[in-house]
């Protein structure tokens, strides 16, 4: 075993924040893939790290008060899974409405639209779903713009309250708003019309 590689990987993990997730590929500059797997296996056995799934590990955050590890943030897990497979993702509209305080309802499931295939994972008893969506739903959009589009779809083609409009208007800067309207001309007609309707007040 390359002791230099093992030392470098241990040093890398020591610098991680508690509960920080990392990919096997993050270490590819240290040594070859097989060596990385062997070193990580040994560190896992020593309980220095924990394995979430193939190629995905994290540095556990132990709480003496609870006498247990503090659970990972599911959102961090989702982002790292997407990074592992090089997927573009955005939360499904019900999740976005809750994120933006447009709904008090907390979704029972973690559902994400993704450029990857349909996948389901279970983390800490929570089901995480990745639903395939066409690349055209993501191309050229920033993450914030995607959240707004999902929020519009979640609110539907109806009259929005002044509260909902205010939240959506404040979420984007003037430049971000103009960019989104310009990019969204090829969205479903009613979605584009709603975007215009919500944001036209911002410049009136």
Spatial neighbors of 180 by CB under 8 A, at least 6 apart, are: 141, 145, 148, 149, 172, 195, 199
Looking at domain 3-63, its CATH architecture is Orthogonal Bundle (1.10)
pLDDT tens-place string over residues 109-167: 899 999 999 999 998 888 999 999 998 889 889 999 999 999 999 999 999 999 999 99
CA distances from 49 to 27, 35, 77, 185, 191 (A): 14, 16, 15, 47, 45
* Domains of the chain, residue spans: 3-63, 74-203
pLDDT tens-place string over residues 65-111: 888 899 999 999 999 999 999 999 999 999 999 999 999 988 888 99
Parallel, antiparallel, or unpaired: how do β-strands 110-114 and 126-132 relate?
Answer: parallel
């Amino acid at each position: 075993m390359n002791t230099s590689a093992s030392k470098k990987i241990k040093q890398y993990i020591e610098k991680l924040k508690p509960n920080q997730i990392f990919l096997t590929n993050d270490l590819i500059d240290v040594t070859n893939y097989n060596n990385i797997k062997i070193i990580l296996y040994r560190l896992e056995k020593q309980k220095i790290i924990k394995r979430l799934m193939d190629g995905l590990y994290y540095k556990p955050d132990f709480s003496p008060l609870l006498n247990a590890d503090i659970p990972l943030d599911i959102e961090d897990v989702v982002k790292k899974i997407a990074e592992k497979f090089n997927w573009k993702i955005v939360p499904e509209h019900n999740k976005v409405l809750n994120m933006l305080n447009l709904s008090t309802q907390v979704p029972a499931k973690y559902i994400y639209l993704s450029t990857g295939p349909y996948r389901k994972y279970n983390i800490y008893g929570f089901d995480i779903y990745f639903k395939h969506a066409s690349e055209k739903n993501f191309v050229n959009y920033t993450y914030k713009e995607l959240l707004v589009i999902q929020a519009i779809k979640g609110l539907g083609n109806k009259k929005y309250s002044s509260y909902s409009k205010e939240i959506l208007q404040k979420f984007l800067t003037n430049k971000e708003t103009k960019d989104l309207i310009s990019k969204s001309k090829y969205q479903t007609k009613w979605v584009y019309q709603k975007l215009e309707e919500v944001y036209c007040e911002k410049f009136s």
